A = this chain, B = another copy of it.
């Protein structure tokens, strides 16, 4: 049905009506006091969201652009970095690091298995010459639904003393705690179409004092991505290049919503939605890719298709009959898993709706090894008791 599609995917996520309508205002001059006021309000909200006193720069870009900015500003060609790789996004940051000539050491685990924190710890502890210049981490690995222990690895990097902590927070910021200052993170990159509840097009980079100091030493040439230009402009209440004004309107709106809800409440809501989703899925006899659940991201749940059934058949019924979008498995997990996003502008109702439609879709594709209503009931129980 036209315009009826509901996004239960890990981005783009649904956008509240108030934010959509905010975008339908004509753009204002970006070099004006009115825009400065928006930029300052938004920057203040972004600092709050990242729990940092440092700067958060907004680029007209996707989350990948934000990560590229993080790497190009704080490192130099040939420098040694440890990159955690346990999914498509970790792969991407390793590929990007190699593309830019970094000496990239991949710390790999299979998709669905969290980073081996102890290997990061050992490598950092053994690095007496301080050759490791950064650890590059994916906090919530969107391709598998794993949450990696960024906090513990950041602690090891702080003990090391030299290595910066560069974090892909694309599906973690706004969905789970990302305590920039308390954890000692140096770069946190994210994108607008996730926990921020607005459409894609803005990339965010929170940058610690250490990272800004590192940017003075970095020899990668840069212009569009320059932290130096971004910081200089931000101090004057502006941006170096024309900002995506209408996306700022939307962001202003959703940051106000987030502040009204409160950070703790946002984290609890996401944790509850994730728990309810997983309880529901398991009550339908399906397996989760990420076990134990403590290793899973509150943003997205990867579900294994039943034996002999292609996951994309389930997704197809969900989309065609029920106007419900879920995400496909990527690379070697294609057809084997489907992913349910439950981050951003998602409420209890959405999870029950997802369970109800999932039950029906499973039945349609020939899988019925569950008590009718078991998924919604199990999910509802979690929602009632948390």
Spell out A's residues near B (CB within 8 Å).
3, 5, 7, 9, 11-12, 14-15, 20-21, 23-32, 60-65, 68, 95-96, 99-101, 191, 193, 199-201, 203, 221-224, 240-247, 325, 328
Contact = CB atoms under 8 A, between A and B. Distances in A.
A224 B64 CA distance: 7
Contacts of A20: 23-26
Contacts of A15: 26-27
A221 B100 CA distance: 5
Contact of A27 (B12, B21, B28, B64): B12
B223 A68 contact: yes
Nearest to A13: B27
Contact of A12 (B7, B101, B245): B245
A61 B99 CA distance: 21
B60 A199 contact: no
Given A63-B242, A224-B68, A12 B28 contact: yes
A7 B65 CA distance: 30
A272 to B, nearest CB: 24
A61 B239 CA distance: 13
Contacts of A240: 64
A29 B7 contact: yes
Contacts of A247: 201, 244, 246
Given A60-B62, A60-B201, A244-B201, A223 B96 contact: yes
Contacts of A101: 221
A12 B25 contact: no
Contacts of A100: 221, 223
Given A23-B24, A199-B245, A199-B246, 13 more contacts: A7-B26, A12-B245, A20-B25, A23-B246, A27-B193, A27-B199, A31-B328, A60-B61, A60-B203, A64-B240, A68-B223, A96-B223, A100-B221
A3 B249 CA distance: 13
Given A3-B25, A7-B29, A201-B247, A64 B12 contact: no
Contacts of A199: 27, 244-246
26 contacts: A3-B25, A5-B29, A7-B26, A7-B27, A7-B29, A9-B29, A12-B27, A12-B30, A15-B26, A21-B24, A23-B246, A27-B199, A60-B60, A60-B65, A61-B224, A62-B242, A64-B223, A64-B224, A64-B240, A68-B224, A99-B221, A100-B223, A193-B242, A200-B244, A200-B245, A246-B247
A64 B242 CA distance: 8
Contacts of A7: 26-29
Contact of A191 (B11, B14, B203, B242): B242
Contacts of A65: 60-61, 224, 241
Contacts of A224: 61-62, 64-65, 68
